[in-house]
Amino acid sequence: MFRFLKKNTGGFSLVELIVIVLIIGLLASIAIPLYFGYRKRAITVEAKTNLIALYKFEINNFSEHDEFTSDLISLGFQPESHRYYDYSVVTDGKSFTATAAGNIDNDVDLDVWTINDKQAVVHQSVD
């Protein structure tokens, strides 16, 4: 008789939906900055890996020609993976310093790594 007065109890209330959206927003606000930090660390592995490979090419060249070279093409050096960094070598013939510089998060700062003939890998500036 009074069916039209009965309240429909199916579905979610507006308050419940707002709480769900707030929880998802809170989780996203924690996860997104962590993701970008992990991404930066993963990209810097490229620089370290390629600098160590470049070191090996330079040592091999030194054993054959008794001098280091700054010509990456004559070394046969090809960077592995996607290139976020640009590579260069400065040498005086008896020592060298190889540099990897790249902009990994599209701002004005560069991320710079170096390796020398003593195989010392140094993070010069953080992007």
Q: What is the pLDDT of residues 20-47, one digit of tens each?
A: 999 999 999 999 999 988 988 888 899 9
Q: What is the mean pLDDT of the chain?
A: 89
Do residues 112 and 100 make contact, with C-beta atoms less than 8 angstroms apart? yes
Confidence band, pLDDT 50/70/90 cuts, at residue 87: very high
> How do the domains of the chain map onto residue ranges?
14-125
pLDDT band at 104; cut points 50, 70, 90: confident
Q: Please give the Cα distance from 112 to 126 (Å, whole number).
A: 7
Mean pLDDT, residues 65-93: 89
CA distance 36 to 32: 6
List of residues 6+ apart from 117 with CB closer than 8 A: 55, 58, 59, 68, 95, 96, 97
